[in-house]
Amino acid sequence: MSDDVYILGSGMIRFNKYPEKNIKQMAAEAMGELIADVPVDKKDIEAAWFSNAGWGIYDGQHCIRGQVALAPMGIQGIPITNVENACAGGATALHAAWTAVRAGLYDLVLAIGAEKVFTATERQKMFDGFLSGTDVEFSRAMIEIFQADAKKQAAEAGEGGEEKEGGHSGFMDIYAMGARLHMQVYGTTQEQLAIIASKNRCNGALNPMAQFQKEMSVEEILADKMVAYPLTRAMCAPIGDGAAAAFVCSERALERFPDARPVRIRASVLASGCLPDSGLDTIGRRASRAVYEMAGLGPQDLDVVEVHDATAYGELMQYEELGLCEPGGGGPHAESGATRLGGKQPVNPSGGLECRGHPIGASGLAQIYELVQQLRGDAGPRQVEGARIAMAENGGGFIGLGEAAMGIHIMEKL
């Protein structure tokens, strides 16, 4: 067994709406970017993990998605594992790759995620597909209650509580309900959520890989179309397509790539959610405690963090779950400027899911791409000065009152 495992290289395509591209094309483009980063001969890849959530839903491609996507590139014959773990699929693929290398089974492997989410002609099928990342029977019943509560709360706040066109994912109703509860318990405000979203818009404007590259003020975000109170459209991750990939390797394999600029995976943890009566702590607290213990670090040691912000409330919640601030302190933490570029502990310098985009199976690996750039000092105008320790938190689905799956990685500059 080898304790030292590395990200040898990373690559991704810009997340966007690509009606003309299919999964195979986007995966091939991401592989092209990855090999441009580190010139690995495809025949030297010993195993691969392929993350995707929706290919079967919109196109009927179930079961062997990785084999279908990778074979046209010449990646075939090796062990290929298909990963489906809701929005946490990318981190799950990386965790599996890390596990195999750390166990000494392989020296050089691939983690790749690709997703086709933008299906303008089958919008409802797409939203129903999102809901499949929950206990569907439970969620359908609860979402009706959440939507009624959102309208009531919006009316009391003097807001338009109903989206006028296009519909939205049921996940937004779940996040909105969580936000309203947080507001009731801790006094969190809609403006604090807008501060997070505006911060991410500023970061996304600096990121050529982001789907949205335009700044928005707090006022503009508050004035945007309501999705589910208190979440406006600009506080929610957009629909889009994309692919991202990483090579994971052992120390032995590093010797073959003297020009590479790897980063060390200091810790990798995968956890599952739980029902309210389980007696277990929340998934974020359990997973973060485990990853800090493995890394021999604490939240105060992190220089830069990427979190799973499917909504601005999702980011605020993770401030607290990961120990970046005290429970209930997420709103004031955002207001303090600590999470902005130039702040004490920047969060989502990529723009996060809210601006970089959220092609489900690729998002976790896009976080890794961003943090590799940060640790190498290659992030340009969004560079976090002196970044040496980075964390990526990628959550997915809902079970009970929290995420169904979560992968967290801590990485360090060599």
Edge-to-edge strand list for the sheet holding 263-272? 80-83, 48-51, 108-115, 242-250, 5-12, 263-272, 405-413, 389-396, 304-306
> Which is the catalytic residue, given 87, 236, 249, 355?
87
List all residues 6 or more positions away from 368 whose beta carbon is below 8 Å from its beta carbon: 7, 10, 90, 94, 244, 246, 392, 409, 411
Listed in order, strand segments (DSSP E) in 147-303 are 226-228, 231-232, 242-250, 263-272
Beta-strand pair 108-115/48-51? parallel
202 is catalytic: no
The amino acid at 194: A
Burial class (CB in 10 A: 0-12, 13-18, 19+), 158: exposed
- Distance in angstroms (rounded) separating the CA atoms of residues 148 and 144: 6
Query: CA angle, 92 as apex, 126 and 134 as ends, to 5°?
Result: 40
- Distance in angstroms (rounded) separating the CA atoms of residues 200 and 212: 10
87 is catalytic: yes
> Which is the catalytic residue, given 95, 168, 182, 358?
358
Looking from the CA of 242 toward its CB, the CA atoms found within 13 Å total 30
- Enzyme catalytic residues: 87, 358
